[in-house]
Amino acid sequence: MGDQVAEIGLNISYILFGLAVLGAVFSAVRALLINPKAIIMALIFVAAFVVVYFIAGSFATNEVTDKYKSLNIDENLSEFIGTLLNVMWIMLSLTVLAVIARGVKSLFN
């Protein structure tokens, strides 16, 4: 009985997640159509993220230890995980730098 309730709950959450993603995409497309100049800025941010992804990928290694092997992680997956971790650290660092820059700028205004 409990497994069926959990299964139903998971299916409902998958549907709600899908609706949320569709709503977010629809809202973004609608905003871009209302303000076409925003498309250029969106493309700049996408291009910047792609650059960050490739920079992060260049630092990632495909090292696989015995512990990784026990978790069925091969060289490709290890490199992908390393890339995503590097992306996270780069984006976190850029965010912290932006917050600090904004604070310093506000001191002089």
Tell me the average confidence (pLDDT) per consecutive run of 10 residues in the chain, 109 residues long.
Answer: 82 94 91 84 90 92 82 86 93 95 91
Domain ranges of the chain: 1-34, 36-109
- Give the per-residue pLDDT at 64: 83
Cβ-based neighbours of 74, under 8 Å, separated by 6 or more: 64
Contact 39, 32 (CB under 8 A): yes
Rounded Cα distance, 79 and 18, in Å: 29
Task: Say how many C-beta atoms besides its own lie within 10 A of residue 73's C-beta.
Answer: 15
Strands (E), the chain: none
Q: How many residues does the chain have?
A: 109
Q: Which pLDDT value is given to residue 101?
A: 95
- Using a cut of 0.75, tell me whether the model's pTM lies above it: no
pLDDT of residue 70: 85
